Amino acid sequence: MNNQNNIVLINLKNYECKYNNQEVKQNVRNNAKKVREIFLKNLTNEERNQSFNNYEQNKTENYQQDIQNEKNIFGYKDYLYTNLIRQLYLFLSSMGVNKRPINENNVNNKIDNSYQENCQNHFNFNKMYKYTYNYKKMMKDDVIKSLKKYNINKFDENLEFYTYTFSNKNSENFKRDYDKTNFNICIYLPTKKEIDILFIIDILYDYFYFYLYIPITTKENKLIFFPFCFENNIIIKHNFNIFVPYLYIYKNKYMEQNSIKFNLNSLNIITDKIFDLQFQENKTIFFIPLIAYNKYGCRIGSGKGYYDRTFISLYKKAKINDEKKNQSINQITNATNSYKESETNNLKENKNNETEKNIQNILIKKNKITDHVKVSVSFEIFLYDVDFNEPTDIILDYIINEKNIYKFLL
């Protein structure tokens, strides 16, 4: 293990999961749920006070904080989320996510090699952020007004509609810029028991260009990813009381009635144009929820296995052959190999003028999965010094908490 540029590198190249740790994993899950209940309850009931500000002011050199009124008094929850925001800013910067300039109107639309350098937006590492839970229930008149923008005039009035009111008002004003956006980010819509990744992303949208997507559980118990817009977002509680965009419910009902399926890219991101939300193929970051984690790149989720099943299926489909990176993935079946042979034969018949090398390149391109990383964000209290990995687990590329950014080398 070593530290480089605020990222802790953990070498797992020689690590091999040899055991069935199902019982160990369940024990850790049960323990983490109890810890979470107590920890989050204390954070919820916490009273913000001036003494915490004095501690932060003394801790940070040249840190100037006005604490003359209630708006500038912070608590431990604010401290934790502030550190997560700082960590994710560093992470997105290290990934090469294009940054917004201080004044977007003064920046040329053309991107060149010096674009990142010319768009320094002065992120303030001394600034404290006050955490707020931003889900708000919508009144009927607001629902009608919001849906009218999509020409939706009828809806089930028995549904309870919510919206995410962004604490960063700039998020609602930024326009989509297809030339400057080079990353798609897939996040979960958090419940009160999870890290509020949307609050963090809301703040960081002021500094980076990216498009957001939300996981939707299919009938096959796998995940597809639906576009989520900052402005005019309308959400409802779906299966297991998890928030999903109402536009998905509306669109999916229409498609099922007409026996139409969504078009997906190699990462199960919907590529169809959804109202005014247009897909663009980009590198992708998946933020995956967890209950507990360890330093072997493994997470413990709710136990339903949606993310594990989804990524294993995607990796099989993409024919990834790196055995070290995919120890938990079953080998490609004979049927898949037969498909590859028949596909090659078809290409030979239809393109007689192409060389064998060109045919292989076409196959590689067709089966290649879009560049992506899998990341989880949590608090240090949920880090367990226990190897609970199982052969069927996916290994994360990064885990980020309020103190460290762990990068796992596979």
pLDDT of residue 363: 36
The three-state secondary structure class of 343 is: helix
Instruction: Flag whether 399 is in a domain.
Output: yes
How many residues does the structure list for the chain?
Answer: 410
Residue 271 has pLDDT above 80, yes or no: yes
- Kindly state whether residue 2 falls inside one of the protein's structural domains: no
> How far apart, in whole angstroms, are the C-alpha atoms of residue 201 and residue 85?
8
| Each residue's pLDDT tens digit, 153-187 | 888 888 899 998 876 655 555 666 778 899 999 99
Does residue 327 carry a pLDDT above 70? no
**How many structural domains compose the chain?**
1
The mean of the pLDDT values for the chain is 79
Query: Is residue 385 a part of any domain in this protein?
Result: yes
Q: What is the pLDDT of residue 390?
A: 86
For residue 372, the cross-strand partners are 284
Give the model's confidence band at 67: pLDDT under 50 very low, under 70 low, under 90 confident, else very high.
very low
CB of 206 closer than 8 Å to CB of 171: yes
Give pLDDT tens digits for 103-128: 554 434 433 434 444 445 578 899 99
Asked, for residue 81, whether it belongs to a domain, the answer is: yes
Q: What is the CATH number of the domain that holds 385?
A: 3.40.50.10420
Which strand ranges, in their side-by-side order, compose the sheet holding 243-245?
A: 135-137, 161-164, 235-237, 243-245
Q: How far apart are CA 278 and CA 151, in angstroms?
A: 17
Among 182, 175, 263, residue whose Cα is nearest residue 226: 263
213 within some domain: yes
- Please check the confidence at residue 83 and state whether its pLDDT lies above 70: yes
Question: Residues 6 or more apart from 99 whose CB is under 8 A from it?
Answer: 93, 116, 119, 120, 121, 207, 208, 209
Domain for residue 350, yes or no? no
238-254 pLDDT per residue, tens: 776 788 999 999 998 88
Q: What is the pTM of this model?
A: 0.79
* Average pLDDT over every residue of 388-404: 92
Confidence band for 102, pLDDT divided at 50, 70 and 90: low
Query: What residue numbers bound the domain in which 205 lies?
Result: 7-16+24-33+76-97+123-128+181-229+259-317+370-408
> Does residue 326 register a pLDDT over 60?
no
**pLDDT confidence band for 230 (50 / 70 / 90):** confident
Instruction: Please give the share of the chain, as a percent, with pLDDT higher than 70.
Output: 72
The answer to whether residue 205 is domain-embedded is: yes
β-pairing verdict for 398-400 and 372-377: parallel
Q: Residue 267 domain-assigned?
A: yes
Q: 212 near 228, Cβ under 8 Å? A: yes
Q: What is the pLDDT of residue 51?
A: 56
